[in-house]
Amino acid sequence: MSGLGALIADGVQGLPGEAARIALTILAGGALVVAVRRGLPWLTGRAVRAGIARLGTATADDRRRMSRRIATLEHFLTRTLQSLVVTATVMVVLAQLGVRVDALLASAGIAGIAIAFGSQAFVRDAISGLFILAQGPFDLGDYVRLNAVEGTVAQISLRSTTLITDDGVVHTVANGAIAQTSNYTRDAWSHVLTVSLKRTVPLDLVQQAVAEVAAELAAAPELGDELVSGPTVRGITALHGASYDVEVRSVVGTALRARYPSLVLGRLVQSFERHDVELA
């Protein structure tokens, strides 16, 4: 037995009988949580590699979509299993303390179910969350519009979906309240450009220059509907001695993928020159 294992065993044996059983239950629950947190990524990693191998000559978009789908399921399953383990651990500890958990739940009846689920809204949101996971209208990392809110999917849970908009605002949308879903990423591509600027350049001046480019591109008839969003400044990503880096992000249709990098870079350089934004 390792030194840590021996130390834990000695500590548990030194406790009174009831306290030792409770301590072991809590330790077992904690070990299961750690196993879920570490084991699921390992399993999903193997699933991603196997799935991509089966796709063979599939496109990069197909491989990216599979990776996102599996990452979404991993995220959801990890959170759900951890919650179930914690709940079961609490129930076992209560039973060890002499609380009649079965009688408590049975006597509560419908009221107990209402308390457990929180409200009917929770049930509606949870069912909607399960349908989202089963049908896969969007995954983590997709750029979507949920009702009137647009942004990148940052988190999916049973109750809600979290979006981050281009200006960095975090929105939480209840799954049961989602009436319309528009996914721009299924046939689109996320373009990220890191720009190094001199430390003396104000960030709001950079944002103004990039916003002008976004307006120009949005009005360009040759782009049509291929420009989904952006370019927008997602903030400072790194600080250096005399410079800093910003991330400029866009979402474009796959038809625009080949020529967009040079197109946006050329316009950004021109706009920076007009606004005296000095590159590092």
- Residue 18: its pLDDT value, please? 65
What domains, with CATH codes, occur in the chain? 3-99 (no CATH), 137-183 (2.30.30.60), 188-274 (3.30.70.100)
**pTM score:** 0.47
Angle at 134 between CA 128 and CA 136, to 5 degrees: 95
User: pLDDT value at position 46?
Assistant: 65
How confident is the model over 30-75, as pLDDT tens digits? 777 777 777 766 666 666 556 555 655 555 556 666 666 677 777 7
The model's pLDDT over 67-124, given as tens digits with 9 standing for 90+, comes to 666 777 777 777 777 777 777 787 777 777 776 666 655 555 545 555 555 556 666 7
**What is the spatial distance between Cα 122 and Cα 134, in angstroms, rounded to a whole number?**
18
pLDDT in tens, 235-256: 788 888 889 999 898 888 777 7
What token pair was written down for 174? 């209840």
- Pairing mode, strands 243-253 and 227-239: antiparallel
**pLDDT at residue 8 in the model:** 44
In angstroms, the CA 254 to CA 260 distance is 10
Report the pLDDT averaged over residues 252-266: 82
